[in-house]
Structure 1
């Protein structure tokens, strides 16, 4: 497995926009990704326990706004995702690896190459930041903590 931190030059937003990155593409990625997540035996239950079926449209809009802000600079996301993730006691490295594997699969399937690479690089930084914050919150020792490794999907 390749550590998530070992990556080539990260594409710019301008390069991804030139390939067609827009809010519609972000929405397609988010919706397809969460369709796969909800069906996944490892991370699906984490989401099902916290998001009722009738709240999924709202959640998808919020996550679309997050990625639109992260990639396109729309500033449409105003939430604070860390407290929600800190409260998930069972959340661990296996969940983050699977989340990233499904995410890579989704963007590789739906997006042009540079756009997928941009999504992947940002998702890996998000996952590492969440992982480290959760570990600190739990009082884990972070010295020499290796980065996440990549998991294949499926």
Structure 2
């Protein structure tokens, strides 16, 4: 989906930019989010097992580029995240729910209302896409797989 297009009821990128969305805000969100993720007892270990201490700055910049591309259309991200996530055998719905809860908390805390709503809508689509692709990769049957439920921030 183009950054300028939105689904019905979802804030547009233009609305978020009018509220102050820029690359600096995306960077603040990503950095604060990963501070919380690294300390989380459920998903922190998943990240720590794959990202060495000295590689966190690089990872944060890569994810900042991802969100800048997704929301602002910067085209600064060129990675292929799906294969890396498919290789994480322990990833389950609980991990995705926690990731989303921490993400919602972060953007609600740091962003204006419409910008937070845009981040949340996109993050939920990203999580569902990853979740479904991982399930297909594992050979799971997806016919009656309900969407993720929301978890509150710890």
Gaps of 5+ in 1: 1-6
Deviation at 1:125, TM superposition (A): 0.1
TM-score normalized by structure 1?
0.95
- Which string of whole-angstrom CA distances, capped at 9 and with x for unpartnered residues, describes residues 30-54 of structure 1? 0000000000000000000000000
In 1, Cα distance between the equivalents of 2:58 and 2:125?
24
Q: Post-superposition, which runs of at least 4 consecutive aligned residues in structure 1 deviate over 3 A?
A: none
Long gaps (5+) in structure 2: 1-6
Who is 2:75 aligned against? 75
- RMSD over equivalenced CA pairs, Å: 1.0
Question: How many pairs were matched up?
Answer: 148
Q: Which residue number in structure 1 is paired with residue 3 of structure 2? A: none
TM-score, structure 2 normalization: 0.95
For CA contacts below 8 A with separation 6 or more, give which structure has more relative contact order.
1
Pair 1:50 & 2:50 matched: yes
Q: Does residue 145 of structure 1 match 2:145? A: yes
| Partner in structure 2 of residue 36 of structure 1 | 36
| Deviation (angstroms), 1:114 | 0.1
